[in-house]
Amino acid sequence: MGYSYQLFCSRNFGPLPATLAMLSEAGFTECEGYGGLFGDIPALKAALAETGMSMTTAHIAVGDLERDPEGFVALAKELNMRAVFGPWMAPDERPTDAEGWRAFGARLAKAGKPFTAAGIPFGWHNHDFELVDLEGGLLPLDCILEEESLCLELDLGWVTRAGKDPLEMLERYKGRIEAVHIKDIAPEGEKADEDGWADLGTGVVDYATIVPAARAAGIDHFVLEHDNPSDDKRFASASLAALKTL
């Protein structure tokens, strides 16, 4: 069972070596990278080696993958990553209809082909905008995943914020989900300074039901995330402890 930490959570807290040391002390052995960390690959590798942490997955922008596919595939292989995901689209880039989303899925599959050819699963990490109904109950995420080569990192916090049922989404995309993001939501009106997100177990998302359902669906990689914690050490320690009880 893989318990990982999205390093984006700690972007506002100190240098990477200190963050990885904090995570190791908290009990993590795995982490998930994001685009801002890949500007200095030697420093990234050194920090991972120093702490013994493994970067088992990563978020890499589609444009970056298109510019340097060989470099990122080589890095993913060297770090023994289990999967790579495209992470996000700016609002002005998002399609407005099903055909546009299908075209994006085709672009994503093309960008990911060097990874899948190397035996590394490649796919998409959702927010809420891919879960807005188009027509007849069709979702943008459905259109993206019409590309059979793509897998999914299902962000269950954003699923909830989109007004969808995490259990239904786990069933809907069963067999395509390579990992899930575990992200809790504070009770309404609370944690405004943290954008309404919460440490796992202190929010309103029923992870006591969702995590066992995810395991039953064959998912074995859980990535903890909080988009804006006021204290990343508090979030990391408390959330890992809570996840291990589920």
List the domains of the chain with CATH numbers.
Answer: 2-243 (3.20.20.150)
* Rg, C-alpha atoms of the chain: 17
What is the per-residue DSSP string for 86-121?
A: E----GGG--SSHHHHHHHHHHHHHHHHHHHHTT--
Predicted confidence at residue 175, as pLDDT, reads 97
Predicted confidence at residue 18, as pLDDT, reads 97
Which of 28, 69, 60, 37 is closest to 225 using CA atoms?
28
Provide the whole-model pTM: 0.97
Predicted confidence at residue 131, as pLDDT, reads 98
Predicted confidence at residue 135, as pLDDT, reads 85
Task: Report the distance separating Cα 83 and Cα 180, nearest Å.
Answer: 12
Which of 225, 75, 246 is closest to 153 using CA atoms?
225
pLDDT beneath 70, residues of the chain = none
